Homo-oligomer: A and B are copies of this chain.
Amino acid sequence: MAKKLAKSAVSQKRVLDAAARIFRDYGYAGTTMRTIADEADLKAGSIYYHYKSKDELISAVLDLSIRLLIDDVKGALAALPEGASGRDRVQAAMHAHLSSILTNGDYTLSSRRVIGQVPESIRNQNMRLRDSYAAIWQDILKGAQAGGEFRASANMSLVRLFVLGALNWTVEWFKPGGRSIEEVASEFTDLILDGLSDKSAADSAVSPVKPKMRAQAPSRVV
């Protein structure tokens, strides 16, 4: 009788991946079922066997996008030793966030590009997931501040928005083959934790950092 088997699941994922790429490149309205079908080696009508509408497709892309991120960051935090400092936790979360969104760039980018154009109910559903992700960060930051590691004068909500903004923006300019994810994560972590100013005109010989001299194509900004 009825038996759920692999064939369907494989096609379903193939369609979803294709959708993420096409939504990323053409936006919500600009994406057509026929284009997705082409990308997934299918005909347009066949998509409806797996997803019952374009909205259900974009909804699935949006949800997977944020779920992948939450899982990666939670995983990285769980892998830390028990007594890890706030600094370590921030560092781990930043690296995991960056690695996740850059590795799943299709989903992250398409998500970012269509989130504002999607029917409101779909957006609201997705926003709830995103809020729960923000809460994870808020815990890390507040914890480190309560422990005295971070300046008491800093507003942790703004810090979170600052850091996540800078991280999320990387999908706009990061290109594989240039700087490594680790390189970017490390530099960004240093920046947010210690700042840009040279605090020690005297003991500046302390920082054991090697200068990086990788030629890079002009990066897009704004």
Contact = CB atoms under 8 A, between A and B. Distances in A.
Given A127-B220, A206-B202, A193 B196 contact: yes
Integer count of this chain's copies in the complex: 2
Given A195-B195, A206-B201, A188 B158 contact: yes
Interface in A39-54: none
Nearest to A131: B218
Interface residues of A, number: 77
Interface stretch (A3-11, A26-34, A75-83): A26-34
A166 to B, nearest CB: 4
Contacts of A153: 207, 209, 211
Interface string A186-212: 011011111111111111101101011
Contact of A198 (B130, B150, B187): B150
Which 4 pairs, one residue from A and one from B, show the smallest C-beta to C-beta distance? A165-B169, A29-B30, A195-B195, A153-B209
